[in-house]
């Protein structure tokens, strides 16, 4: 998005990303630096120093076999014991997707052989360090761990007491594509949620191997943004998954990024019809590039995980209210003008056409009284800027704000610990404002990555946000005492509660807690109910 229409910029980004590519090889001659080697269940992996005090281990497989051939559309398989020694110098190939210059990691070489993870650690010999596992976004359609603004060296250099991991997972038609309703689809019972099962398998690998890197397998925080934010709110609902993590940081993502079985089947059928296919066997014969390109064109921003009643509950929100994850600590939030990213990405005309179509489909789902509430909201909503329509505010509410508060409410009702935030700094790039993904270069300490931010944000502000994320991962409480706060001033972050509904407002020069009623972030009467209709 964004720079996709700038051919020269897109070419420059493609060259930059593809220059990172290399292939990890087995080391058979014993010639490697033993101080950079870590023995894991599935091999000994040799990393590289990325900075004076940071070692990166890239492209480590977390499955026994990659999901190709007979394993396409099958659940990931466990690693097997391996005494070999392998380079871990380069990112593995990324999942198949339609490359996009706005998410530049998607320009890296691709393959269905994509189930790899990366580890960053300080070079010291400390043990039992908290572990933070990053799950990237991209609407379950694109993105990768190669995204420059999410590279882990700077983060670990600043926070050497953290082990950082990032993971890949299958996306689009290979990760979220229901097949079991097809005549020969019975052998593919998990195809609708394979991307989530990949994440579960990666977390299992982390739990079993991270101690060798100095990490504490019993203190793992999963965090992600957008589809990654949705993922980390869905993973606690998958049976047996909670043993591999204890905390969640969800940035601009929630269970709203899911679809029903009926919606999932309809999406599959659209792609099947366009390709002239009737069976899984037909699909297996389709050229991969054509397959991905067709699905991306048809299903843009509709490739979600499925509320299938098997891997995920039919009603994730109810599951949270019933206490399904009450023992998991949550930190979650969203940005002030989330849809600004999409206005910028699509361009004004493209976004308005998209919004008109999605609004009409959403209104078709509603009762007459509900439609009246939505129309009233749109009439009263304050536009982000003169170029925007009120629809951007409506979709801020539907897609990000209302789902965030429903999660905070339900987790709190169940007796869980929950911290909620609202991010407000604005991009230096026209149209984005405080849009989706603007915080990512802040979280990973990459002020030079200004594609979305348009500028470097205040250094103390950025460091404070990172320190809060790290403090939460360490302790389950993101509050900072004066001695560890970057500006020397204590930052008390109150837990969300059902009466005061406190949020931490991340204003660039004034991080402070506020009651939701004072900021009036959510329209509780006119948009909160829309969470029951999810996102499609």
Active site (catalytic) residues:
226
Alpha carbon 218 to chain centroid distance?
22
Q: What does the buried/exposed string (b/e) look like for 403-414 if buried means 16 or more CB atoms within 10 Å of the residue's CB?
A: bbbbbbbbbbeb
215: three-class secondary structure by DSSP: strand
- The CA angle 507-512-513, to the nearest 5 degrees, is 125
Pairing of strands 329-335, 247-251: parallel
| 85 phi and psi angles, rounded to 5 deg | -115, 130
What is d(CA 41, CA 263) in angstroms, rounded to the nearest whole number? 40
Q: Which of these, 346, 423, 444, lies nearest to 145 by C-alpha position?
A: 444
| Alpha helix ranges (H) inside 235-367 | 261-275, 280-284, 288-299, 316-321, 340-346, 348-364
Q: Assess contact for 97 and 142: CB atoms under 8 A.
A: yes
Chain-centre distance for alpha carbon 476: 20
Distance CA 8, CA 11 (A): 5
DSSP string, 402-440: HHHHHHHHHHHHTT--EEEEEE----SSTTTSS-TTTTH
3-state DSSP of 18-62: HCCCCCCCECCCCCCCHHHEEEECCEEEECEEEECCEEEEEEEEC
Single out the residue of 106, 145, 149, 124 nearest to residue 35, CA to CA: 124
- Could you tell me whether strands 116-122 and 85-87 are parallel, antiparallel, or unpaired per DSSP bridges? unpaired
Which distant-in-sequence residues (6+ apart) come within 8 Å of 411 by Cβ?
A: 320, 325, 326, 330, 418, 496
Do residues 165 and 127 touch, judged by C-beta distance below 8 A?
no
User: How far is residue 19 CA from its own chain's centroid?
Assistant: 25
Phi-psi region of 125 (alpha: psi -120 to 50; beta: other; left: phi over 0): alpha
């Amino acid at each position: 998005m964004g720079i996709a229409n700038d051919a020269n910029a897109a070419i420059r980004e493609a060259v930059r990303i593809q220059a990172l590519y290399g292939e990890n090889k087995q080391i058979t001659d014993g010639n490697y630096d033993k101080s950079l080697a870590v023995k894991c269940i599935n091999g000994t992996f040799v990393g590289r120093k990325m900075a004076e005090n940071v070692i990166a281990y890239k492209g480590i497989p977390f499955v026994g076999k990659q999901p190709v051939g007979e394993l396409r559309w099958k659940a990931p398989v466990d690693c097997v014991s391996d005494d070999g020694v392998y380079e871990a110098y380069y990112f593995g190939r990324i999942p198949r997707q339609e490359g996009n210059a706005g998410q530049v990691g998607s320009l890296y070489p691709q393959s269905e052989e994509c189930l790899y993870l990366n580890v960053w650690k300080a070079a010291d010999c400390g043990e039992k360090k908290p572990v933070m596992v990053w799950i990237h976004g991209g609407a379950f359609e694109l993105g990768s761990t190669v995204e420059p603004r999410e590279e882990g060296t700077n983060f670990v250099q600043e926070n050497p007491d953290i082990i950082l991991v990032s993971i890949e997972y299958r996306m689009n038609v290979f990760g979220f594509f229901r097949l079991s309703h097809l005549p020969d689809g019975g052998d593919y019972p998990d195809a609708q949620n394979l991307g989530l099962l990949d994440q579960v398998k990666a977390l299992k690998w982390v739990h079993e191997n991270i101690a060798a890197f100095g990490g504490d397998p019993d203190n793992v925080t999963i965090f992600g943004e957008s589809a990654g934010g949705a993922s980390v709110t869905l993973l606690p609902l998958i049976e047996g998954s909670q043993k591999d993590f204890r905390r969640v940081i969800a940035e601009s993502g929630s269970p709203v990024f899911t679809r029903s079985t009926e919606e999932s089947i309809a999406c599959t059928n659209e792609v099947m019809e366009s390709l002239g296919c009737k069976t899984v066997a037909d699909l297996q014969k389709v050229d991969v590039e054509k397959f991905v390109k067709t699905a991306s064109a048809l299903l843009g921003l509709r490739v979600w995980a499925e509320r299938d009643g098997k891997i995920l509950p039919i009603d994730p929100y109810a599951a949270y209210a019933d206490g399904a994850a009450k023992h998991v600590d949550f930190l979650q939030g969203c940005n002030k003008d989330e849809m600004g990213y999409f206005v910028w990405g699509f361009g004004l005309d493209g976004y308005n056409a998209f919004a008109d179509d999605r609004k009409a489909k959403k209104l078709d789902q509603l009762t007459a009284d509900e439609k009246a509430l939505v129309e009233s909201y749109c009439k009263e909503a304050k536009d982000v800027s003169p170029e925007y329509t009120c629809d951007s505010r409506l979709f801020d509410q539907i897609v990000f704000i209302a789902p965030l508060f429903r999660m905070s409410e339900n987790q709190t009702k169940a007796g869980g610990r929950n911290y909620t935030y609202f991010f407000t700094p604005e991009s230096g790039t026209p149209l984005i404002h405080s849009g989706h993904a603007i915080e990512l270069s802040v979280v990973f300490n990459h002020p030079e990555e200004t594609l979305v931010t348009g500028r470097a944000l205040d250094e103390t502000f950025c460091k404070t946000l990172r320190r809060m994320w790290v403090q939460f991962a360490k302790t389950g409480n993101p509050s900072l005492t004066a001695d560890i706060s970057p500006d020397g001033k204590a930052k008390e972050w109150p837990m969300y509660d059902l009466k005061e509904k406190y949020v931490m407002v991340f204003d660039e020069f004034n991080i402070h807690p506020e009651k939701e009623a004072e900021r009036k972030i959510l329209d509780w009467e006119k948009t909160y109910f829309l969470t029951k209709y999810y996102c499609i």
